[in-house]
Structure 1
Amino acid sequence: MKIGILGGTFDPIHYGHLWFAEYARERFKLDKVFFIPNKIPPHRETPLATSKQRYEMVLLATLSNPCFEVLPIELEREGISYMVDTIRDLSSCFSFDELYLLLGNDAFRDFLKWKEPYKIIEKASIIVGSRGIEDYSSDLKNFIKNFENKIFFLDFPYYPISAKEIRERVKRGLSIKYLVPESVEDYIIKNGIYL
């Protein structure tokens, strides 16, 4: 079984996340993509929506795709959400032949600053949603060269939206239609998130 992991704050989840996950799933013939909302992100600001709200939004967004599954393992763990710990947990709970970590280009740029990046690459290959490696640091370029058989660059049609932009639009009373699934939009409005 080939599994993809897409972790993040998902504050909120949007079509960019979903499109990247689906495109990677098809291209790499992944059997499942696990969406893993984090509790306390180590490399980003504290989410505005609660852990429960973010988890529920991801559930709503992924409901229609049988190849997507939402795992609350980072939300249930105390402390900062580190991917290396999540991969260890997944390895003890699930049986899979291949594991792929799905990362946006911005997250991959900082990958060597993550907790135990070499342990992560030992356990999982990386799929980077990217259009090239021109602007990476020399250390990251060397890392890519050393692990070229485990790092894949997925040139996919970019969906130009960010969670930050969505939050700002909600705060300003602007539409987020076509940026997030309708069920997520309804949930945000009903719960007064990001106002």
Structure 2
Amino acid sequence: MHIGILGGSFNPLHNDHIELLNYIYKKLSLDRFILIPNALPPHKTTCHVSFNDRVDMINKTVENLPYITVSMVEQDDSIPHYSFDTISELKQQFKNDSLYFCMGMDSFNYLDKWYRGLQIPDLCNLVITDRTGYDIEKSNSAVIEKLSDRIVKLEGKIDDLSDLEIIREIKNSEQPKIIYLKKEFTDISSSKIRTVFKDFYQKYSNSLQNFENFKEFDSNYYVMQNLPESITRYILENRLYAD
């Protein structure tokens, strides 16, 4: 099988994540996708919401997307989790499958700063999606000089016929590739979503912190556009992002 992998804090998982998953799944004709919530991200200090709450929100969001499963490989919050180690572990679990580790251009640009980051493309295929303001040709020299000969560029349209043969070659290749997808996403801000909820809690008393009042909140637009209603309700019911 050909398996996509996307890790992150997912604090919370939002519509941009789902659009990204659907796009890569269809573009590369993958068999399944694994989401890996990180209990203790090594480069973030904003995960004040529990791992279990984040997993619950993910499960609610993907329950009608059967090709997506959630891995608990990074659930131990007593240690930081690094992508190199996680992918190495997944390779042991899926010995007969091809893995496609996904990240945005912003992350790829600083891959040399990650723990053993420049070795990740030796473990599995790397899938890079575009980000506004970044140019893969002008990436960090430490990254591009090391990995430029591994990069394969694909067009943004899912059904681009010129890409089909390239994708077949990637899947049949024994050497992992770096697949650059010329597709930008809306770049939804999880921190902005959290801020909207925090502002809502500050405006309303506990007895009024419900979905009906949230719909009337003057700053709700960003959340209502970018989160499924079921997740908005979950956040309010559990008073997440109040602090």
Q: TM-score, normalised by structure 1?
A: 0.92
The structure with the larger Rg is 2
Give 1:105's aligned residue.
Answer: 105
C-alpha displacement of 1:170: 1.2
Q: Which range is displaced more, 131-140 or 8-17?
A: 131-140
Given candidates 160, 166, 191, the residue that maps to 2:193 is 166
AA matched with 1:87: I
Equivalent residues of 1:3, 1:99 under 8 A apart = yes
Give 1:7's aligned residue.
Answer: 7
Give 1:21's aligned residue.
Answer: 21
Given candidates 213, 226, 238, the residue that maps to 1:179 is 226
Cα distance in 2 for residues equivalent to 1:144 and 1:32: 26
Instruction: Check if 1:136 corresponds to 2:139.
Output: yes
Q: Which range is displaced more, 113-122 or 2-11?
A: 113-122
Q: How many residues align?
A: 195
C-alpha displacement of 1:155: 2.1
Q: Show CA shifts across 1:35-77 (max 9, x none).
A: 0000111122241211111111111111111111111110147
Equivalent residues of 1:34, 1:69 under 8 A apart = yes
Given candidates 146, 149, 152, the residue that maps to 2:149 is 146
AA matched with 2:231: V
Q: Which range is displaced more, 1-10 or 43-52?
A: 43-52
Equivalent residues of 1:13, 1:57 under 8 A apart = yes
Give 2:47's aligned residue.
Answer: 47
AA matched with 2:106: D
Cα distance in 1 for residues equivalent to 2:111 and 2:185: 21
Cα distance in 1 for residues equivalent to 2:61 and 2:111: 27
AA matched with 2:225: Y
Cα distance in 2 for residues equivalent to 1:58 and 1:38: 12
Q: Show CA shifts across 1:148-190 (max 9, x none).
A: 2511111224223111111111112232112112221111111
AA matched with 2:136: I
Cα distance in 2 for residues equivalent to 1:188 and 1:135: 40
Equivalent residues of 2:151, 2:180 under 8 A apart = no
Give 1:119's aligned residue.
Answer: 119
Cα distance in 1 for residues equivalent to 2:123 and 2:88: 9
Cα distance in 1 for residues equivalent to 2:235 and 2:96: 35
Instruction: Check if 1:155 corresponds to 2:182.
Output: yes
Equivalent positions of 1:16-95 (< 5 A) are: 16-76=16-76, 78-95=78-95
Q: Which SS does the other structure have where 1:121 is aligned? A: helix
Q: Which range is displaced more, 30-39 or 127-136?
A: 127-136
Percent of matched pairs sharing the same residue:
31
C-alpha displacement of 1:101: 0.7
Cα distance in 2 for residues equivalent to 1:79 and 1:46: 16
